[in-house]
Amino acid sequence: MPEAPHVVVVGGGVSGLTAAHRLVGRGFTTTVVETADVPGGKLRASPVAGVDVDAGAEAVLARRPEAVDLFRELGLDDRVVHPGPGGAAVYSRGRLRSLPKGQLMGVPGDLRALARSGVLSWAGTLRAGLDVVSPRTRVDGDVSVAAYVGSRMGQEVVDRLVEPLLGGVYAGRADRLSLDSTLPQIASMARRDRSLLLAVRAALGGGGAAPTKPGPVFASLRGGVAGLVGELAERHSSSLRLGRRVRGLQRLPEGWRVHLDDDERISCDAVLLACPASEASRLLAEHAPEASRELGGVEYADMALVTMALPASAFPGPLVGSGFLVPAGEGLTIKAATFSSNKWPWLAEELARANPGDELVVLRCSIGRFGEDRILERSDEELTRVALRDLGTVTGVSGTPVQTRVTRWNGGLPQYDVGHAGLVERVRSDVARVPGLGVCGAVYGGVGIPACIADADQEVARLVDTLRTNISTSGGDDAGTNQQGVNP
C-alpha cells in the first residue's frame, strides 16, 4: 500500500491544530511544528485563584457554526457554556452607560435608544440622526470604517461606539480598519441603502424585516475556551513538535524539505503555513515572492491582559453586567474590562469551590490599542497598578488583588486595513501557484476562532485536492499521526 502523504503544519495555534485534525481525518499524516513550548497560540489558560482562566481568547461566536460544531465533533458538548445575563457597558463621558439597544457593532439603528443611553452628547446624537435625511454616501471600493460610518453619523458614533466595539475584536483604529473586511454587513448596506440607521434597524428586525437568529451569541468551555486546543493537541500529540521553530522551506523535485532551527529536516509532500504574517512572509520569500511581500506589510496590534482576583468586598456594591468598553479619549489606559466571574457563571462556581469562605471576583483588563506601543513598555507591576487605578475610577474598587496575572500578546491581532480582502486574494493566488503549499490562519479570513477554523478547513480541502491529483494515496483511516517522512 503506498504511504499516506505527509504534511508539515507550521504553527500549533487553533488554525494549525484544526488543519492537522482535518488532514488526519482525510488519511494524511502530519507533523505540527510549534515554536512555543505549549500548543494553542492565542488560546491558553492558566490558574488564577486556583481556577483555570483564559489568558487569551475567551469565547467563540456561537452564531457561526464552525467552532460549536468542532466542540460537538470533539465530544466537548458537556463543557459548553454561555455568558450569564447582563451585557457590556461603555464608559463614556465620565461614567458607565448601557450600550444602546438596537445597534450593530456600535452602529445605531434606534435614535431614541441612542439618546436614552447617554453615550453620545446631544450634539453627537443629533448628528447621528442626520443620517436619515442625508443623501446617499457613494461607496465604490473599500473604505475605512471611520470614513463611511463617520460620514453618515458623525465622529462621535465612530469614537464612542463603533471603535470600542471593533477594538474588542481587532484592537484596531476605525480610521484604518477596512469596512469590507471588518463590517461586511454594514458594507453591503452602504452599497444598497441610503440611510445606514434605517438599514441597521431593518437588519435587526425593525421595519418588518426578519429578526436576527435566536440563541446565545457567544459560547465557551467550562475551564476556558483554551480547552479546544487542549483537546486537539491531545488527540494529535504524537505529531506535535513543541519548542521548535521552522527556519526555512526547501522545495524538492517532489515535495518539500522543512528545516527546523536545530538543523533537523523533515521531508514531506506539502507544507501548510498556519503562522502569523511576518513568519509566513519570511518562509514564502523564495517560493511565493508576491505573497511574501504582501504579508510582510500586514501590521499587528500588541496588547496585554491584566487578570486579577479581588475580594468582592473591595467593591462598593455588586458588579453588574459582563464588563465595559472604554473609548479612547476618556483619560483611562485600559480599553476594556471583563467581569469574568459575572460573565461566566461556571467561573464563579469554581472560584467559590476553590476558595471556600472567600468571596472572590475575577476581572480581565485589556491594555493596548493599535499604535499605543509605549504603554506596553511598562513593567507588569506598572500595568497592574494602572489597571487597578482605572478600575477604581470606573467601579470604585479599592483594595489589593489576591492574585494578578499579566499576559502579553505581542503581535496579538493582525490589522485588517483598508484593502485587506484584495491583499488576501493576491496572497492566496500566488501561494496556489506553488504545488504542495498552503496558508491559513487569523490573517486571512477573519481573526475570530470560528473564522480560523473555517480558513483551516478550506485550505486543507484545497491542498488535499491538489495533492490527490498528484499522488496516489492509501486513504487508510489508520494513517494516524505517525512521523513518516521525518529525517532527523
Beta-strand relationship, 6-10 and 29-34: parallel
Provide DSSP, 39-105.
SBTT--EEEETTEEEESS---EETTSHHHHHHHHHTT-GGGEE---S--EEEEETTEEEEPPSSEET
**Using CB under 6 A, which of 6, 7, 15, 340 touches ligand FAD?**
15
Lay out the sheet containing 300-311: strands in order across: 95-98, 88-92, 323-325, 334-338, 360-367, 300-311, 403-414
Coil, helix or strand for 205?
A: coil
Question: Interface mask (CB under 6 A) for ligand FAD, residues 440-479, using x and -?
Answer: -xx----xxx--x---------------------------
Q: Residue 106, interface with ligand FAD (CB under 6 A)?
A: no
- Which C-beta is closer to ligand FAD: that of 97 or that of 241? 241
Among 276, 323, 368, 436, binds ligand FAD (CB under 6 A): 276
Q: Which stretch binds ligand FAD (CB under 6 A): 55-63, 344-352, 395-403, 420-428?
A: 55-63
Q: 247: exposed, middle or buried (C-beta count within 10 Å: 0-12, 13-18, 19+)?
A: middle
| Direct distance between the N- and C-terminal alpha carbons of the chain, in angstroms, rounded to an integer | 24
Among residues 447, 323, 448, 331, the alpha carbon closest in space to that of 390 is found at 331
In whole angstroms, the minimum distance from the beta carbon of 11 to ligand FAD comes to 3
Least separation in angstroms between residue 386's CB and ligand FAD is 17
Non-local (6+) Cβ contacts of 152 within 8 A are 131, 134, 137, 195, 196, 197
In angstroms, give the least distance from the CB of 168 to ligand FAD.
8
* Residues numbered 296-325 forming contacts with ligand FAD, rule: CB under 6 A: 303, 305
Q: C-beta of 44: minimal distance to ligand FAD in Å? A: 9
Q: Site mask, ligand FAD, residues 249-268, x = CB under 6 A? A: --------------------
Q: Which is nearer to ligand FAD, 157 or 365 (CB)?
A: 365
- Return the DSSP state at 162: I
Helix (H, G, I), strand (E, B) or coil at 374: helix
Least spacing, CB of residue 198 vs ligand FAD, in Å: 30
Nearest to 166 by CA among 328, 31, 349: 328
Closer Cβ to ligand FAD, 74 or 139, answer by number: 74
Among 409, 424, 436, 438, binds ligand FAD (CB under 6 A): 409
Tell me how far the alpha carbon of residue 179 is from its chain's centroid: 17
As measured in angstroms, the least distance from the Cβ of 253 to ligand FAD is: 24
User: Is the C-alpha dihedral spanning 382, 383, 385, 386 positive or negative?
Assistant: positive
| Residue 99, H or E segment | none
Contact 403, 49 (CB under 8 A): yes
Residues 16-45 contacting ligand FAD, CB under 6 A: 16, 33-36, 41-43
Contact between 172 and 372 under an 8 Å Cβ cutoff? The reply is no
Sole binder of ligand FAD in the list 4, 8, 9, 12 (CB under 6 A):
12
Residue closer to ligand FAD, measured from CB, 151 or 341: 341
Q: Between 34 and 231, name the residue whose CB sits nearer to ligand FAD.
A: 34
Instruction: Select the span of 53-61, 112-120, 147-155, 427-435 touching ligand FAD (CB under 6 A).
Output: 53-61
Instruction: Please tell me whether residue 10 binds ligand FAD under the rule CB under 6 A.
Output: yes
Q: Which stretch binds ligand FAD (CB under 6 A): 91-99, 310-318, 385-393, 408-416?
A: 408-416
Reduce the DSSP state of residue 8 to 3 states and report it.
Answer: strand
Closest distance to ligand FAD from the beta carbon of 274 (Å):
6
**Segment lying near ligand FAD (by CB under 6 A), choices 57-65, 325-333, 340-348, 428-436:** 57-65
Q: Which is nearer to ligand FAD, 176 or 408 (CB)?
A: 408
- Closest distance to ligand FAD from the beta carbon of 67 (Å): 7
Provide the grid cell at 83. 455568558
Is 77 exposed, middle or buried (CB count within 10 Å of its CB: 0-12, 13-18, 19+)? exposed
The three cell numbers of residue 317 are 456594591
Q: H or E element: which one contains 306?
A: strand 300-311
Which residues, in sequence order, are CB contacts of 464 under 8 Å at separation 6+? 23, 26, 28
Residue in 4, 5, 8, 13 binding ligand FAD, rule: CB under 6 A: 13
Using CB under 6 A as the binding criterion, the count of chain residues that bind ligand FAD stands at: 36
- Give me the phi and psi of 82, to 5 degrees please: -130, 160
Q: Which of 4, 8, 9, 14 binds ligand FAD (CB under 6 A)?
A: 14
Q: Which amino acid is at 127?
A: R
Residues that bind ligand FAD (CB under 6 A): 10-16, 33-36, 41-43, 56-60, 245-246, 274-276, 279, 303, 305, 409, 412-413, 441-442, 447-449, 452
